Amino acid sequence: MTYIEFLQAYSSRIIDGSLITLVQFLFATAVAVTTALALGLMRLSNNPAVKGSATIYIEIFRGTSLVVQLFWVFFVLPLFGITLDKFIAGFLTVGLNMGAYGAELVRGAIMAVPKGQWEAAKAINMTPLQRMRRIILPQAFVIMLPPWGNLVIEILKGTALVSLIAVTDLMFQARQINISTFMSVQTFGTAIIIYYVFARFMVTPFMRYFERLMARKIGRA
Amino acid sequence: MEWRWDWTWELVPRFIDATGKTLVAAGGGYAIAIVLGLVFVLAQRTPSRILAFVAREFVELIRSTPLLLQVFFVFM
């Protein structure tokens, strides 16, 4: 079987898998951004209970392996009465895990906003909420976007692990095709190229564009 | 399903075994990573434009594809 024949026979499954990977990636990113923002702000709280619970969450999710977390959510949570569909369990776990990494980026970016900005906002009598929303967060956003570009690639790579709980993503389809054809170089090679094109020529350029756009919005282009 | 302590204790030796293997794999991984990291950085800093370009692109390829897929690609 030549590579052309291989593509003719299996391209529909590869495309199906790629679309599932894409959807998993988008949902996982949404979950990660939400988690990261909430936890990053909690980490900066003065309330020790709020700050402590965020720290515990971050340490647990960063300190254990993503595969183990996936298996916990999919196989162990049902024993406690929480049964999630494998598709939801997949992007939710990847998102919650990557959100823990993102929380540190959010915290770092907020702390990197110059002291003068905080003081000026206070001097014109803004409430802490107004100051955070209108002065600090927009600037922190611009600061944190470049490291987020890295994390978003990590999220894309993380979604390959959802194949282990039988979500039919690109990784899963590649393994299935390999089992029936034994053409491992072609199957896994094609999958690697798809992930690479996706990360390098779609996700990264988008993030770069987004960085420039946001920098321009606060007048730093 | 109920929690069974007798079964849990039966499994403990296997977990200890597996933990040892994890540590060995991690240690070996660190060692290889340090050496290869130096090799790729040196390749990128040579005067040869071609070598630098190839090294850079290879690093990007590895960094932006899932580890699980790389493991399957190499060992299947």
| Average pLDDT value over all residues in chain B | 93
- Token pair for A85: 């569909």
Task: Kindly indicate the confidence band of residue A111, based on its pLDDT and cuts at 50, 70 and 90.
Answer: very high
- The candidate with the shortest Cα–Cα distance to A17, out of A183, A175, A181, is A175
Q: How far is CA A66 from the centre of its chain?
A: 12
pLDDT at A219: 78
CB A31 within 8 Å of CB A99: yes
pLDDT at A118 over 90: yes
Q: State whether residue A163 is helix, strand or coil.
A: helix
Integer-rounded Cα radius of gyration of chain B: 20
Q: What is the mean pLDDT of residues A133-156?
A: 94
pLDDT at B76 over 80: no
Task: Kindly indicate the confidence band of residue B75, based on its pLDDT and cuts at 50, 70 and 90.
Answer: confident
Quote the CA–CA distance of A150 and A29 in Å, as a whole number: 12
Q: What is the mean pLDDT of residues B31-59?
A: 94
pLDDT at A115 over 90: yes
**Cβ of A191 under 8 Å from any chain B Cβ?**
yes
CB A20 within 8 Å of CB A166: no
pLDDT above 70 coverage of chain A, percent: 99
Place of tokens 């075994």: B17
pLDDT above 90 coverage of chain A, percent: 88
CB A174 within 8 Å of CB A184: no
Non-local CB neighbours of A169 within 8 Å, separated by 6+ positions: A17, A20, A21, A24, A90, A159, A160, A162, A163
Q: What is the mean pLDDT of residues A8-17?
A: 93
pLDDT at A218: 83
A119-136 in b/e form (b: 16+ CB < 10 A) is eebeeeebeeeebbeebb
Q: What is the mean pLDDT of residues A116-140?
A: 93
- Closest residue in A to B58 (Cα) is A196
Best of B4, B56, B76 to disrupt the A interface (most A CBs within 10 Å) is B76
Q: State whether residue A19 is helix, strand or coil.
A: helix
Q: What is the mean pLDDT of residues A60-86?
A: 94
Task: Kindly indicate the confidence band of residue B36, based on its pLDDT and cuts at 50, 70 and 90.
Answer: very high
pLDDT at A38: 96
DSSP A145-159: HHHHHHHHHHHHHHG
**Cβ of A176 under 8 Å from any chain B Cβ?**
no
- Closest residue in A to B59 (Cα) is A196
pLDDT at A221 over 70: no
pLDDT at B1: 63
From start to end of chain A, where are the E strands?
none
Is A188 close to B65, i.e. CB distance below 8 A? no
Residues of chain A with C-beta less than 8 angstroms from the C-beta of B65:
157, 192, 195-196, 199
Quote the CA–CA distance of A166 and A147 in Å, as a whole number: 31
CB A107 within 8 Å of CB A43: yes
CB A102 within 8 Å of CB A32: yes
pLDDT at B43: 94
Quote the CA–CA distance of A37 and A143 in Å, as a whole number: 14
| Domain extent listing, chain B | 20-75
* Domain CATH number, residue A206: 1.10.3720.10
A3-43 and A137-158 helices, crossing angle to 10°: 140
Non-local CB neighbours of A27 within 8 Å, separated by 6+ positions: A91, A95
pLDDT at A1 over 80: no
- On whether ipTM exceeds 0.90, the answer is no
Is A196 close to B64, i.e. CB distance below 8 A? yes
Is B1 close to A79, i.e. CB distance below 8 A? yes
- Domain of residue A98 covers 3-217
The count of structural domains within chain A is 1
Over residues A170-213, the pLDDT tens digits come to: 999 999 999 998 888 999 999 999 999 999 999 999 999 999 99
Over residues A40-68, the pLDDT tens digits come to: 999 999 999 999 999 999 999 999 999 99
- The candidate with the shortest Cα–Cα distance to A40, out of A118, A136, A117, is A136
pLDDT at A220 over 80: no
